[in-house]
Structure 1
């Protein structure tokens, strides 16, 4: 069985997780890694490694299809926000090549990538999201009517990696923060990742204060809910969770189940959830395998083994879908030399 991890970036640990899962399943195969940066650490860890066009490049999906055909790839697991819309758009084509695609359908991707849609998306299942507004005029009217209060967050509707995120503490800040977010989006790959103009891709949202949780939702290839993995965030570094503790809070478990069943996505999805002391609010949904899964893996989960079993049409073991609660975990860095162990694949050349 050959597994393709796209946009591997720094996630050497993920490559190792899939190597271990193949070994435990006694299945011969390769873990193939692709990334647009030649110096991505993960390109030093795959059995086959490819430097490909950027996720927003028009030739990105051509490179992915070429790798899948060349290596008879059995399953594909995306790891980056920007690539998921293109993989979802070409999901049927990949499936026709015999690839099990652990990514949502395009309609699901579109719905969760638009943060301005969360209240409409989640309210039918009783899950809350912050109040949000898509124009300066509407948020000023809401402020005047005491429907919302400062501080406010200004961010892209289809954001990634905290690009273009601003905070406004008074009315005079809003227009400056809004324009700065627009300019940041125009200068980033986000501008190529949506059909919206940058001016129409900004959201003004109430800030929910309180404890923050990472909520991972794993469904099978048919979109049936399988499991959730929940971690309370203790410390951040560079936009990533640096320390956390695993939790099994019933309210969050129920939110994950509701979202998994309602969205019906294939594969992995990650959400950020805040608890303000009274209610839980979903503030972000990422339709891909989140980097925070590594914490849950070290707490006992084994989703790579579940992915391999689902690809092979075999049963998923319950032990792969559980974690030990109240386990505190922290990241650490490792250093790898960057050697020319990859192939360059740029169809545009």
Structure 2
């Protein structure tokens, strides 16, 4: 590549956005980092960064598009779940301006954002899913929604295991309601014991190009440790799912295995917080998509089975850099020191 392609990444303060930034920089792409918070760490890890409005602001799309055009960005990777629907519905505006947002169709985004819709869609695709009940249809006099234990999750939205409750007995369910929770906003889902897997995939032209499977350990809803595994059954199930769902670019599936059979309980129509970890294992999803869209190169990968152990790393940023970003709304070549 004679000249670096410029790519914008939103959500630079979160694990997903930072993971995308790392994966693209390792592939020698030029990254412009975007976030609404002046202390978002990823803003100081890129050569150029901008403050943008929050997704709920009516100027969000206009501002992101303005920055992408000014920086001559070829692609835009969203790093926040809350931005996916907005960007999916504004994709034609970006494409008309020469910027391709790496976001799936509104249909796919809506399916991934609604756990009840996820359950019904995957079941119709023939993918194994844990039994799921709409709690808005449940009345306490009807008995228990599912055999114990089961899991209560927000039907729509939610991330990093927030609003997730394991219900072991009827007293737990009664306590959940007594605490003021609106059960109608939740779904009850069959609890499946065993290891949890996070599976990355890349789909282009409605065909799943590849899948990486990682067994993971969670801490506070984030992947704390992950271990790449080669499992033909899991890989095949995820590939079947993605070929039926037809996302665009990276799409993540979370599942558990019971009696040798994978049960998918969640999909995320975006990159994952483990994107950088996957890149280190030979499966760089952002780079594969960028190579294909920008250079016409067919995605290639070579997955290595290894363990990824996460740890905190300090990034020292000068107060002058923070002040410059705050006052100007943008920053070029921030001076940082990694400890």
TM range (shorter): 0.7 to 0.9
- Give the 4+ runs in structure 1 shifted more than 6 A: none
Q: 1:165 — aligned with what? A: 164
Q: 1:78 — aligned with what? A: 78
Q: 1:14 — aligned with what? A: 20
**Cα deviation, residue 292, structure 1:** 1.0
Q: 1:333 — aligned with what? A: 312
Please give the alpha-carbon distance, in whole angstroms, between the structure 2 residues aligned to 1:180 and 1:297.
42
280 and 264 in structure 1: CA distance in 2 versus 1, 3 angstrom threshold? same
Are the counterparts in 2 of residues 178 and 202 from structure 1 also a CA contact under 8 Å? no
Q: 2:193 — aligned with what? A: 209
Confirm or deny that 1:249 pairs with 2:245: no
Q: How many residue pairs align between the two structures?
A: 317
Q: 1:189 — aligned with what? A: none
Instruction: In structure 2, list runs of 5 or more residues that go unmatched.
Output: 331-339
Q: 1:290 — aligned with what? A: 272
Alignment match of 2:245 (pick from 224, 249, 263)? 263
The superposition leaves residues 185-215 of structure 1 with CA deviations (integer Å, 9 ceiling, x where unpaired) of: xxxxxxxxxxxxxx75321222111111011
* RMSD (Å), alpha carbons: 2.4
Range 238-247 or range 169-178, more displaced = 169-178
Instruction: In structure 1, list runs of 5 or more residues that go unmatched.
Output: 24-29, 184-198
> What are the equivalent positions in structure 2 for 1:7-156 lying under 5 Å apart?
7-11=11-15, 12=18, 14-22=20-28, 30-135=30-135, 138=138, 143=143, 148-156=146-154
Are the counterparts in 2 of residues 130 and 205 from structure 1 also a CA contact under 8 Å? yes
Please give the alpha-carbon distance, in whole angstroms, between the structure 1 residues aligned to 2:203 and 2:142.
38
Please give the alpha-carbon distance, in whole angstroms, between the structure 2 residues aligned to 1:100 and 1:179.
47
Are the counterparts in 2 of residues 75 and 100 from structure 1 also a CA contact under 8 Å? yes
The superposition leaves residues 248-302 of structure 1 with CA deviations (integer Å, 9 ceiling, x where unpaired) of: 1011111121111111111111111011234211111111110112221111223
Are the counterparts in 2 of residues 218 and 268 from structure 1 also a CA contact under 8 Å? yes
**Cα deviation, residue 170, structure 1:** 2.3
Q: SS state of the match for residue 83, structure 1?
A: helix
Are the counterparts in 2 of residues 156 and 181 from structure 1 also a CA contact under 8 Å? no
Please give the alpha-carbon distance, in whole angstroms, between the structure 1 residues aligned to 2:54 and 2:155.
21
Are the counterparts in 1 of residues 200 and 252 from structure 2 also a CA contact under 8 Å? yes
Are the counterparts in 1 of residues 252 and 270 from structure 2 also a CA contact under 8 Å? yes
The superposition leaves residues 65-108 of structure 1 with CA deviations (integer Å, 9 ceiling, x where unpaired) of: 22122222210111211111111111111111111221101011
**Cα deviation, residue 140, structure 1:** 5.2
